[in-house]
Amino acid sequence: MSAKLSTFALVAMVISPTVGWAIPGQSTTATGDAFVSTCVGNGFGGIGQFGNAIGNGTSTASGAAPSAQALNCVTGTSAAAGTQVTTGTQVGGGTYFGRPYANSATATAAPGVIKLQSDNAGSSGDQFSGAGAQGGWNETFTPVGGVVGTAGMAIIPIHVSGTMTASGLGASAQMEVGVFKNHNLVQPYGNAQNAAAYGKFQALNTAFNSTLNQNSIAVGSVLFGWDYEMKPYGAVNYGAGDSLTVSSLNIDEIVSFAIPVVWGTPFVLGTFAAVSTGEAASGGQLVMNTSTAQFGNTIYWAGGAYGLAADGTGAPISGFSLIAASGLDYSESFVPEPATLSLLGGALAVLGLARRRRATGR
């Protein structure tokens, strides 16, 4: 395999608002590059499709009326292949008819690693104050191990580690992680190979369990009805019965995605995640609420990918590997190192990030 890049250089961030119809995100991020997006403020509409710029990456200014929406949204992509990009910490806050709210969000990503954080404090009488962050990376892989030109399946493990809390009526914290193949959602349609991959995804991951859904917590659900490979998590307080409770969720697990492949044929894999915090509902009850989603410890390539037959059965394929066009070594886990925020040339700079190497002597 090609030589791997062991450290990510400190580089200046490239941030720009959305222009016209183009939505920055997984479909416009070059292979070997990362993408981030954050949005904070009032009138928050949620994160939308993971992998796309939140709020189309466009900020909206507040008007004279207390009910006017005010959002601060930014997006960014890696300044150079294999490097890290961050939005820095975006901070929002203000009042809605005299009701204060405050929120913040940070998104950082590099090939192999995503770090996301958002939080919100307000009341159920606010006009949907909230914050969201998302990020991810694209990589072109050539799968090897099977007979060239025949169908197979690649199992991609992603480590998800973080915490979520929702306290007070209307508080909501949500997170989702998913994948794209050749810039499309991985769905069970079109042929038997796609259906088998989706079935394997279901089998490898924990589905929604209503007996664990205490205090309106969505505990690591796989929403099969959505028909694409994505795993969501949430901590939400919807009703009066939950107004004094604290819903919390600690996550530390592997999410395994099943990708239909053709041996020897390159494909683009996009790995993206998103978090949002804010209000699940808005109304007249002025109950204070807070919500947090902390995934700085983080979402990352876990290593240990393996290949299977096209129908997902049988033993792992001997000699399987994913050869990355970027030269990064995806046979190993991309365990993130502690990072330090720095400024470069008066602009926001990205966090330094190093990958641990195994003791291989390389």
Sequential DSSP letters for 265-331? --EEEEEEEEEEEEES---S---EEEEEEEEEEEEEE-S--EEEETTS-SSPPTT-EEEETT---TT
pLDDT at 337: 61
Residue 219 has pLDDT above 80, yes or no: no
pTM across the whole model: 0.83
122-133 confidence digits (pLDDT tens): 887 788 899 999
Separation CA 312–CA 306 (nearest Å): 11
pLDDT at 168: 81
Separation CA 257–CA 262 (nearest Å): 16
DSSP lists the bridge partners of residue 176 as: 232, 274
Segments making up each domain of the chain, as ranges: 7-354
Q: Which two tokens stand for residue 12?
A: 């200046």
How many beta carbons lie within 10 A of that of residue 344, not counting itself? 12
Q: Which two tokens stand for residue 244?
A: 């004094």
pLDDT at 7: 28
Q: Which of 112-126, 142-156, 197-211, 301-315 has the lowest mean pLDDT?
A: 197-211
pLDDT at 285: 61
Residue 216 has pLDDT above 50, yes or no: no
99-121 confidence digits (pLDDT tens): 889 999 999 999 999 999 999 99
